[in-house]
Amino acid sequence: MLNKFFQSFNNEEKVINEDHSFESDLYNLIYEIIIADHEITQQEINLASELIEFYFKIPAQINRDKFNKFANQEHFNTDLSHFSFRLKSSLSYEQRMDVILICWQVLMVDGKEDQLEVSTVRKISTLLGLEDKDFILIRNRVKDSL
């Protein structure tokens, strides 16, 4: 009986996400902040799209389309470690700080510091290898600008 059970895992086709691009990894991480409080707003999507364009030179409309597609599909990430690892490997420390800056700005767009969003940004920051002092510096800079 158990043999059949374990064989069923071996016989299943493995579904592989063919999109392991930098952009895809970035969208997945940023989208985690957008959905962390279980409220997806167009304001969050627009701000995230504009910030990605500013920091990473990806056109805002492409970003908006991708985030809206995630929202329409009710996309949910179960494991951020793969996306984070690839971004950590491909970005400089300063660029990883920019990712966290984007996360904090999206988090604070509604003027509320939701604990689910904060813990998600903290997790992403840790996975990207940022030091706590830089995480706090970014958080304070964003909060002071409000």
CA dist., res. 80 & res. 99, Å (int)? 14
pTM score, two decimals? 0.83
> What is the share, in percent, of the chain residues with pLDDT greater than 90?
73
Q: What is the token pair recorded at 67?
A: 């985030």
The residue type at 69: K
pLDDT at residue 116 tops 70? yes
Q: Is the domain 19-144 a CATH 1.10.3680.10 member?
A: yes
The stretch 94-101 carries a mean pLDDT of 97
Contact (CB, 8 A) for 107 and 121: yes
Q: Please say if the pLDDT value at position 109 is more than 80.
A: yes
The answer to whether residue 13 scores a pLDDT higher than 60 is: no
Which pLDDT value is given to residue 115? 93
| pLDDT at residue 2 tops 70 | no
Residue 139 clears pLDDT 50, i.e. is over it: yes
Q: Residue 61 in contact with residue 94, Cβ under 8 Å?
A: no
Q: C-alpha distances in angstroms, 116 versus 7, 92, 119, 121?
A: 39, 27, 5, 9
